[in-house]
């Protein structure tokens, strides 16, 4: 599909605005009506916008089709050079530098404006002219304010930004919903299915930042046999199909699957698309959000490439503080509801996401900066309120009890010189014999079902001392407390998990070092009382205030507390030892890491929005603990039942003293002791400890 033709047809009135605003912007570098230091900022921004106009022309005209690989690389470097590497230190995209040069009053908000201008890269590649023009007009509006007023206030500039974000939500938010649901928005799909994937120019067609990571990944995958590619894709798509089967959900009702991946994996994704089509599913593939109204802090949801600068992403995670108030929340929720109603037929046949994640990048430890925006307490409460209401609206149209998902992960070349060996080890991990694990895990479940609670104790420097209360069951022959999870929605195998009973769940969870959502935590401690977080701490920063803020923002998602939504015992000792062998345990994604020891999720349960759908293990017994004392509130007031977050925290085997089941009759059944499985019937799980 020619995206320029599509959007020009839908927005013909935008064409005139497109050219009129350009005429104004090209004059800015010639004018001297704005004094320094602001003139330098506006001249550089005007230069950037003019480059974006040239980019639009190239993409619209089709000139790019004859560009060489070197020409594509040169253009890509030009688009991202200002925020890449050390250049970011002296970029207006850096709030710290922007405040230093432009002052405290305007530095932050003008840095925010630059991030919105940078979204033009995506709008140019995809032909989204309306959004391109909207941002260009905001830039000119703010420039005119600096040009015409000697006593300009921050409040006036903030007012302009506020109404820009609020007024245009009917365009930005509506489009975001559509691209999540509509296979006809096939910008990425066409790149994947119609490009010659041996010609690496295709990597640049997205407009994403392309590094050696993407190039070497694509080269490596191009060197694999079709049989190996098929094995990877088949594992991925079968996990999705089996997820519906095991969840007692009818996949034949669905027509759309959302595929999320990282640039460079197109050969696998292409085969996955073919597999999904055989299931009757068309792909809806969308990019991570570039407009502020659709972003979720620093987290990228959709397809994406290597970040030019993760500190840049992190610095702008709180930009919504500029405009987040009660009126905006109500406005955005109204648009969200209207958008889903508009696309309700597509929403009804949406099956959920199939996610292909990556790992191996250099771990990111963020720098805390006082110059960045952050939500105040009132705004934190509003953000939580919005997330709850938005989740409820989404579930009304894309019903939780009918949808499923799957997630798989592969390494990228950044992981080191053993990349090829590690990649093949991961393929092995992702395709382990699930029947073997299913049988062993059934043995673990039989022990757990006898218990009232489980005691988890750390060893060495790990201070964990935690008791997890288990829900009672009425008939052990027909009911069970734990799900026997193999390789379906969460690839690879294996784990057994439950939704803990909150009352009686108490103690300290401690991990010496862990990565959650790409952020590092040193000595993370989380205290529980009756299943709810009652305290937390880490040692990332010198200031205790910064440590608490870091956890509240990125683990609690600004909630005052969260319940323990999941307790699981991971059984993939092979994955653990591969991590040890290649010294990559700190780079394993949570998807794999959670299988390498017990893990505890804070937030919603694994069954959120689908608690009333009965789920059974392979032995025919129904898994009973799908609710906890918080999620059950959905029957009275759904706004009190969900937190719209679920973060897994894993204790690695080498930090684990014991996991013991406490039975009602006083018996204690030990499952793991000193990092090894000691429960009879689990001996096979200890073999990788000796093999590797």
- Tens of pLDDT, residues 203-218: 999 999 999 999 999 9
**385 and 239 in one domain?**
yes
Q: Quick one: tokens of 233? A: 């894709």
Beta bridge partners of 451: 663
**Among 115, 123, 155, residue whose Cα is nearest residue 139:** 115
In contact, 258 and 303? CB cutoff 8 Å = no
The answer as to whether 414 is a domain residue is no
Which positions ≥6 away from 68 have C-beta within 8 Å?
201
Please check whether residue 665 is in contact with residue 420, taking contact to mean a CB–CB distance below 8 angstroms. Answer: no
**632 plus 513 within the same structural domain:** yes
In terms of domains, do 523 and 664 share one?
yes
656 in any annotated domain? yes
H helices of 62-126, where? 69-80, 95-102, 107-118, 120-126
Answer whether 333's CB lies under 8 Å from 386's CB: yes
What three-state secondary structure class fits 386?
helix
Q: Are 543 and 553 in contact (CB under 8 A)?
A: no
192 inside domain: yes
Within a domain: 141: yes
Q: What is the C-alpha to C-alpha distance for residues 411 and 419, in angstroms, rounded to an integer?
A: 7
- Residue of 534, 137, 554 lying closest to 317 (CA atoms): 554
Based on the fold, state whether residues 537 and 683 are members of the same structural domain: yes
CB burial of residue 569 (10 Å; 0-12, 13-18, 19+): buried
Whether the CB-CB separation of 257 and 239 falls below 8 Å is answered with no
What pLDDT, on the 0 to 100 scale, is given for residue 13? 80
Structure confidence at residue 1 (pLDDT) = 40
Shared domain check, 348 and 313 = yes
Q: Which residues contact 36 (CB under 8 A, 6 or more apart)?
A: none
Are the C-beta atoms of residues 104 and 372 closer than 8 Å to each other?
no
Q: Are residues 39 and 99 in the same domain?
A: yes
Nearest CA among 393, 185, 351, 170 for reference residue 254? 351
- The residue from 117, 145, 167 where one domain ends is 167
**Is the Cα torsion angle 523, 595, 254, 10 positive or negative in sign?**
positive
pLDDT tens digits for range 578-632: 999 999 988 888 889 899 999 999 999 999 988 998 999 989 999 999 999 999 9
What span, in angstroms and rounded, lies between the C-alpha atoms of 219 and 205?
17
In the chain the first and final C-alpha atoms are separated, in Å, by 50
- State the Cα torsion 253-255-257-258 to the nearest 10°: -120
Taking the C-alpha atoms of residue 451 and residue 246, their distance in angstroms, rounded to an integer, is 25
How far apart CA 118 and CA 166 sit, in angstroms, is: 19
Query: Is 647 within 8 Å of 518 (Cβ atoms)?
Result: no
**Claim to verify: residue 346 and residue 475 sit in the same structural domain:** no
Partner residues linked to 660 by β-bridges: 455, 670
Residue 77 lies in a domain: yes
Spatial CB neighbours of 176, under 8 Å, sequence gap ≥ 6: 286, 289, 291, 294, 339
> Which one, of 648, 649, 655, 653, lies nearest residue 678 by Cα?
653
Count how many domains the chain has. 3
Q: Kind of pairing, strands 564-570 and 495-498?
A: antiparallel
pLDDT of residue 10: 53
* Domain co-membership, 436 together with 385: no
Judging by beta carbons within 10 Å of its beta carbon (0-12, 13-18, 19+), is residue 613 exposed, middle or buried?
middle
Q: Is the pTM of this model over 0.75?
A: yes
Residue 304 DSSP one-character state: B
Expressed as residue numbers, the domain containing 680 is: 432-691
Contact 683, 677 (CB under 8 A): yes
- Structural contact between residues 572 and 598, judged by C-beta atoms closer than 8 angstroms: no
Q: Among 167, 378, 140, 401, which residue's Cα sits nearest to residue 293?
A: 167
- Residue 29 maps to a domain: yes
CA–CA dist 575, 592 (Å, integer): 7
Q: Which residue has the tokens 């999320």?
A: 260
* Domain's final residue, options 167, 199, 219: 167
Q: Which residues of the chain fall below pLDDT 50?
A: 1-4
pLDDT digit string, tens, across residues 167-191: 999 999 999 999 999 999 999 999 9
Asked if residue 229 lies in contact with residue 394, where contact means CB atoms within 8 angstroms, the answer is no
- Residue 483 pairs in a beta bridge with 497
Residue with tokens 């009135």: 13
Describe the crossing of helices 154-167 and 169-181 by its angle, rounded to 10 degrees.
Answer: 40
Final residue belonging to a domain, choices 406, 440, 473: 406
Domain match, 156 and 211 both: no
For β-strands 350-359 and 256-260, DSSP reports them as parallel
Residues 117 and 252 placed together within one structural domain of the fold: no
Q: Kindly list the distances between the CA atom of residue 546 and the CA atoms of 265, 372, 543, in Å, as whole numbers in the listed order.
A: 38, 13, 5
For residue range 448-470, list pLDDT tens digits in order.
999 999 999 999 999 999 999 99
Q: Are residues 378 and 472 in the same domain?
A: no
- C-alpha span between 573 and 566 (Å, rounded): 20
What is the Cα–Cα distance from 202 to 306, expressed in whole angstroms? 16
Comparing CA positions, the residue from 471, 469, 487 lying closest to residue 479 is 471
Residue keyed to tokens 């997330």: 387
Same domain, 398 and 440: no
Residue 174: which H helix or E strand, with range? helix 169-181
Alpha-carbon distances of 193 from 190, 227, 271, rounded to whole Å = 5, 18, 9
Judge whether 130 and 11 are in contact, CB under 8 Å. Answer: yes
Tokens of 434: 């699930």
Closest of 690, 686, 688, 692 to residue 440, by C-alpha:
686
Question: Does residue 422 form part of some domain?
Answer: no
Is 417 inside any structural domain?
no
**pLDDT on residue 250:** 94
């Amino acid at each position: 599909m020619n995206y320029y033709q599509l959007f020009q047809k839908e927005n013909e009135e935008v064409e005139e605005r497109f050219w009129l605003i350009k005429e104004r912007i090209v004059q800015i570098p010639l004018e001297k009506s704005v004094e320094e230091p602001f003139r330098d900022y506006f001249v550089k921004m005007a230069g950037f916008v003019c480059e974006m106009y040239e980019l639009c022309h190239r993409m619209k005209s089709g000139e790019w089709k004859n560009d060489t690989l070197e020409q594509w690389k040169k253009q890509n470097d030009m688009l991202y050079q200002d925020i890449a590497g050390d250049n970011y230190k002296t970029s207006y995209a850096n709030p710290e530098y922007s405040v230093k040069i432009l002052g405290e009053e305007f530095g932050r908000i003008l840095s925010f404006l630059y991030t919105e201008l940078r979204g033009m890269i995506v709008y140019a590649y995809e032909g989204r002219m309306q959004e391109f023009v909207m941002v260009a007009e905001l830039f000119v509006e703010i420039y005119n304010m600096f040009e015409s007023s000697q006593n300009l206030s921050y409040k006036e500039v903030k007012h302009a930004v506020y109404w820009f974000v609020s007024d245009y939500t009917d365009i930005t938010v509506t489009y975001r919903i559509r691209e999540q649901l509509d296979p006809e928005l096939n910008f990425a799909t066409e790149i994947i299915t119609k490009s010659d994937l041996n010609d690496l120019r295709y990597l640049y067609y997205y407009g994403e930042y392309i590094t050696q990571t993407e190039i070497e990944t694509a080269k490596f995958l191009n060197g694999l046999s079709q049989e190996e590619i098929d094995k990877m894709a088949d594992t991925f798509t079968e996990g999705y199909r089996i997820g519906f089967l095991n969840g007692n959900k009818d996949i034949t009702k669905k027509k759309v699957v959302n595929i999320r991946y990282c640039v460079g994996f197109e050969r696998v994704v292409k085969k996955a698309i073919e597999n999904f089509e055989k299931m009757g599913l068309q792909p809806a593939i969308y990019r991570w959000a570039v407009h502020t109204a659709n972003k979720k802090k620093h987290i990228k949801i959709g397809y994406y490439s290597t970040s030019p600068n993760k500190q840049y992403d992190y610095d702008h995670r709180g930009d919504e503080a500029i405009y987040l108030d009660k009126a905006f929340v109500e406005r955005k929720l109204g648009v969200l509801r209207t958008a889903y109603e508009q696309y309700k037929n597509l929403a009804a046949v949406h099956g959920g996401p199939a996610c292909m994640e990556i790992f191996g990048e250099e771990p990111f430890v963020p720098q805390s900066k006082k110059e960045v925006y952050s939500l105040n307490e009132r705004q934190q409460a509003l953000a939580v309120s919005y997330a709850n209401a938005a989740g409820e609206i989404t579930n009304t149209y894309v019903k939780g009890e009918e949808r499923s998902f799957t997630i798989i992960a592969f390494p990228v070349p950044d992981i080191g010189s053993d990349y090829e060996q590690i990649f093949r080890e991961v393929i092995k991990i992702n395709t382990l014999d699930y029947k073997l694990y299913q049988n062993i895990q059934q043995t673990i479940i039989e022990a757990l079902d006898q218990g009232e609670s489980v005691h988890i104790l750390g060893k060495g420097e790990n201070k964990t001392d935690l008791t997890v209360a288990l829900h009672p069951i009425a008939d052990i022959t027909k009911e069970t407390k734990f799900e026997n999870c193999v390789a379906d929605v969460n690839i690879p195998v294996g784990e057994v998990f439950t939704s803990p009973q909150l009352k009686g769940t108490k103690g300290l969870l401690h991990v010496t070092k862990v990565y959650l959502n790409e952020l590092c935590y040193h000595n993370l401690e989380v205290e529980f009382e009756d299943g709810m977080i009652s305290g937390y701490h880490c040692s990332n920063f010198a200031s205790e205030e910064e440590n608490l803020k870091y956890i509240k923002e990125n683990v609690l998602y600004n909630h005052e507390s969260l319940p323990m939504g999941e307790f699981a015992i991971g059984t993939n000792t092979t994955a653990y030892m591969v991590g040890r062998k290649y010294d990559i345990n700190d780079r394993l994604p949570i998807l794999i890491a959670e299988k390498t020891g017990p893990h505890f999720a804070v937030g919603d349960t694994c069954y959120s929005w689908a608690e009333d759908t009965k789920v059974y293990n392979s032995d025919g017994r129904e898994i009973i603990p799908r609710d906890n004392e918080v999620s059950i509130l959905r029957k009275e007031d759904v706004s009190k039942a969900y937190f719209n977050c679920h973060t897994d925290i894993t204790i690695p085997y080498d930090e684990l003293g014991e996991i013991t089941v406490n039975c009602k009759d006083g018996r204690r059944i030990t499952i793991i002791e000193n990092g090894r499985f000691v429960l009879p019937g689990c001996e096979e799980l200890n073999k990788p400890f000796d093999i590797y």
